Amino acid sequence: MQFSRFSKQHVIEAAELLAARSKQILIDFPLLPSHIVEQERTVTFLNALLERSESSGMVMLEKGRMIGYILGYYDQNLFFRRHVWVPFGGLALSEADEYQQLRTLYAAVGDNWIQDGVLNHYLVCPAIQEWQRAAFSLSFGQEQAYAVVSSTEEQPEGLPPQGITIREVQPADANQLASNGHWISAHLNTAQVWEPVPQEHLAEVLPGYAELADDDTSTTWVALDGEKLVAYVAIYTVDIGAIHYLGTPKAAHFAVAATHPDYRKRGIGRALFTHILNVAHQQGYEQVFTDWRTTNLEADRYWPTFGFSPFAYRLLRRVNPIYKPFTG
């Protein structure tokens, strides 16, 4: 095996490999956008990923032929700290001995990341059994599910419980949305997710909830008990552009969905969320994407009942933060 840092000269061959593997992924997950098999799209995506600030990757060659690559970029945020992010499409392998390929390739690229002082490694891995098995053997853990459901057909809707009404959001709902925008964070703060809730995070996201009340880029519906907001849900077109391999204007992202803790398990969320999926259908979307923490056991059981099927998982490898190369 030979290894080289991913560079411009590798884009075409890597794009061919990605398009070839995406054909099989599309067979296994036919709700994904069909453009992922088009080499023009894979070339555009990999160029954009490579040109992103602090991109970092590796190609693996056998007798001069590329048999695998990993390409991501360094980033930093409040929750992930300094990390490398390998998006969906940032990993591709030939079909021969994928388990050992991924293990060997990660050892090479991971050493570069460690040398750069990046100890948190995120990989959005397609739900390919051998790829996930290899990643788990490398001490990656599963953190997030990425799922999709068809919206080409309207779904039967149940009525909300007596006394509960659902309607599209209005500008006057802004204050209630902002004051209740912590529901998701508060839920994820409990077992078994144990996600922190920094005040800096709330200060950043709560104004965004208020903006949903009068936002022409999203569609938001709410459930009310009288005048009291007890649930909300929002969709918007998935991110599109060269860097977004799955991005298509025909798909919506099921971005925000929450119910007041005192109003859960009464059918309010199911009535509201089914309705927004039908709204997506009426707006012409062909599929709807969403994601959830797999340690959020309620979500992990709940969203598949709407037909959402995971096609990828966010995996995380954390290297011990006191790690330093041993010099003797």
Instruction: Give the tens place of pLDDT for each residue, 73-97.
Output: 999 999 999 999 999 999 999 988 9
In angstroms, the CA 153 to CA 137 distance is 40
* Residue 304 domain-assigned (yes or no): no
CA torsion 304-306-311-317 (nearest 10°) is: -50
Residue with tokens 């080409």: 152
Instruction: Give the tens place of pLDDT for each residue, 174-220.
Output: 999 999 999 999 999 999 999 999 999 999 999 999 999 999 999 99
Instruction: Give the tens place of pLDDT for each residue, 220-263.
Output: 999 999 999 999 999 999 999 999 999 999 999 999 999 999 99
In angstroms, the CA 194 to CA 295 distance is 9
8 and 111, same domain (yes or no): yes
195 and 140, same domain (yes or no): no
pLDDT at 96: 86
* Residue 249 domain-assigned (yes or no): yes
Contact 232, 208 (CB under 8 A): no
Domain boundary (145, 163, 181) is at 145
Contact 56, 72 (CB under 8 A): yes
Domain boundary (145, 168, 201) is at 145
Task: Indicate whether 64 pLDDT > 90.
Answer: yes
Residue 174 belongs to what domain range? Answer: 153-285
9 and 110, same domain (yes or no): yes
CA distances from 136 to 39, 60, 79, 130, 266 (A): 30, 20, 22, 10, 38
239 and 199, same domain (yes or no): yes
CA distances from 195 to 28, 187, 189 (A): 32, 9, 5
In angstroms, the CA 102 to CA 134 distance is 6
Contact 132, 146 (CB under 8 A): no
* Residue 322 domain-assigned (yes or no): no
**Residue 162, Ramachandran bin (φ over 0: left; ψ between -120 and 50: alpha; else beta):** beta
36 and 140, same domain (yes or no): yes
Return mean pLDDT, the chain: 97
Q: What is the mean pLDDT of residues 54-79?
A: 97
Instruction: Give the tens place of pLDDT for each residue, 97-107.
Output: 999 999 999 99
130 and 195, same domain (yes or no): no
This prediction's pTM: 0.96
Q: What Rg, from alpha-carbon coordinates, does the chain have?
A: 21
Listed residue (11, 12, 13) closest to 66, CA to CA:
13
Task: Indicate whether 113 pLDDT > 90.
Answer: yes
Residues of the chain with pLDDT > 90, as a percent, come to 97
* Residue 169 domain-assigned (yes or no): yes
CATH number at residue 116: 3.40.630.30
Task: Indicate whether 328 pLDDT > 90.
Answer: no
pLDDT at 245: 98
pLDDT at 21: 97
141 and 179, same domain (yes or no): no
SS3 assignment for 208-255: HHHHHHHCCCEEEEEEEECCEEEEEEEEEECCCCCCCCCCCCCEEEEE
